[in-house]
């Protein structure tokens, strides 16, 4: 018996960024269906290639399958972001699956700063991210989960939001696995202790040879300082088992969580270069 063929994805995008002299360019790309790139841009003078992914359909509906693959070659640098929030509409029947695969070569930088996830009432969303990072590669991933949208304005009305991220080395050894499973009916997501009475959840995962305990200390001081000045934030940071760190932020709205993650990101950038804090309003 032949295996059941994988259904064609609703949209897929593959791209490869390579270094050419002082600039970083898209050396190859292929897209299919409802997922494409805006014209590539440079956000600062570093030469880093910024890639903005758009879903022309505007949002995800039941049964949608998306596949995004980004590979950054040796010593190249790329930023992957989205044009607007990821909206997952009511999904009757089969849920939405987004698969992301990132490959970071030695000496390369890949920063994936995605817009917040807005899951509508009855939405079912599974995001599987796998990243393979070479020993001297640098990877930053950020995610924000909002309380979503419902006609009556109440939070957490989606069926299921599951974000699974695994970071490994090229030979397959695990660096870190992060699983966020938010199933409101089952888990009392809103109750204290799951999201600590906050509504928005931000995560930043980073792997880079420069991210030693001193870098983790610096990020900790930033988090503690911000908590003291902005109401409703609660955050934590921990080193990974390889040089790298994980940051979790709980907050009362998208903005303070997003700003804090960008500030953490700026600290990380200062550890391996001189690139300024990311300013997405420039494009």
Partner 1 sequence: MVSLGSGLLAVLQFADSALPTGAFSQSLGLETAIDDEAVHDETTFRAWLRRFLHHQLAPADGWAIRAIVRDGADPLEVDAALHAMTLPVQVRDGNAAMGRRAAQIAEQNFSGPAAQAYTTALGRGEVIGSVPVVLALLARDHGTGWEDACAAHLFTSLTSLTQNAVRGIPIGQNAGQRVLRAMHPEVEAALERIAAMTDDEVGAVSPALEIDQMRHSWQRARMFMS
Minimal distance in Å, beta carbon 26 to partner 1? 31
Minimal distance in Å, beta carbon 25 to partner 1? 34
Q: Binding of partner 1 at residue 99 (CB under 8 A)? A: no
Cβ density class 188-220: b for 16+ within 10 Å, e for less: ebeeeebbeebbbbbbbbbbbbbbeeebbebbb
Minimal distance in Å, beta carbon 227 to partner 1? 10
> Which position has the token pair 């063929």?
5
Compose the 190-209 pattern: x for residues touching partner 1 by CB under 8 A, - for all others: --xxxxx----x-x------
141 sits in the region (left: phi over 0; alpha: psi -120 to 50; else beta) called beta
> Which position has the token pair 């018996």?
1
Whether 125 contacts 160, CB under 8 Å: yes
Q: Binding of partner 1 at residue 219 (CB under 8 A)? A: no
Count residues contacting partner 1 (CB under 8 A)? Answer: 35
- For partner 1, give the closer residue by CB, 253 or 280: 253
Separation between Cα atoms, residue 203 and residue 208, nearest integer Å: 17
Compose the 134-173 pattern: x for residues touching partner 1 by CB under 8 A, - for all others: ----------------------------x-x-x------x
Exactly one of 56, 58, 135, 236 binds partner 1 (CB under 8 A); that residue is 236
Exactly one of 2, 6, 45, 179 binds partner 1 (CB under 8 A); that residue is 179
- For partner 1, give the closer residue by CB, 76 or 233: 233
Q: Map the footprint of partner 1 across residues 116-135, applying CB under 8 A.
A: 126, 128
Exactly one of 141, 235, 257, 260 binds partner 1 (CB under 8 A); that residue is 235
Separation between Cα atoms, residue 139 and residue 104, nearest integer Å: 7
The token duo for 108 is 């390369």
Three-point CA angle 194, 198, 204, nearest 5°: 80
Question: Which residues contact residue 56 at a Cβ distance below 8 angstroms, ignoring those fewer than 6 apart?
Answer: 34, 36
Binding site residues, partner 1, CB under 8 A = 126, 128, 162, 164, 166, 173-181, 187, 192-196, 201, 203, 220, 224, 234-241, 246, 248, 250
């Amino acid at each position: 018996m032949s295996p059941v063929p994988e259904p064609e994805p609703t949209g897929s995008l593959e791209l490869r960024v390579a270094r050419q002299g002082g600039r970083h360019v898209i050396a190859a790309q292929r897209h299919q269906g409802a997922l494409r790139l805006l014209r590539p841009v440079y956000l600062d003078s570093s030469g880093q290639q910024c890639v903005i992914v758009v879903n022309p359909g505007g949002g995800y509906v039941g049964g949608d399958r998306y596949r995004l693959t980004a590979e950054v070659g040796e010593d190249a640098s790329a930023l992957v972001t989205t044009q607007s929030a990821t909206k997952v509409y009511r999904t009757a029947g089969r849920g939405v699956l987004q698969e992301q695969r990132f490959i970071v070569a030695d000496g390369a930088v890949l920063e994936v700063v995605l817009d917040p996830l807005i899951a509508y009432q009855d939405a079912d969303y599974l995001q599987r991210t796998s990243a393979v990072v070479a020993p001297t590669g640098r990877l930053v991933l950020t995610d924000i989960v909002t309380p979503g949208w419902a006609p009556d304005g109440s939070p957490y009305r989606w069926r299921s939001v599951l974000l699974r991220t695994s970071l490994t080395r090229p030979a397959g050894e695990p660096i870190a696995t992060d699983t966020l499973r938010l199933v409101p009916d089952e888990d009392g997501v809103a109750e204290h202790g799951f999201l600590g009475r906050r509504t928005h959840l931000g995560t930043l995962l980073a792997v880079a040879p420069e991210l030693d305990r001193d870098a983790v200390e610096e990020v900790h001081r930033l988090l503690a300082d911000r908590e003291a000045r902005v109401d409703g934030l609660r955050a934590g940071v921990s080193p990974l088992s390889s040089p790298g760190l994980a940051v979790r932020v709980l907050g009362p709205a998208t903005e303070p969580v997003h700003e804090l993650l960008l500030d953490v990101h700026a600290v990380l950038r200062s550890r391996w270069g001189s690139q300024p804090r990311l300013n997405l309003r420039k494009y």
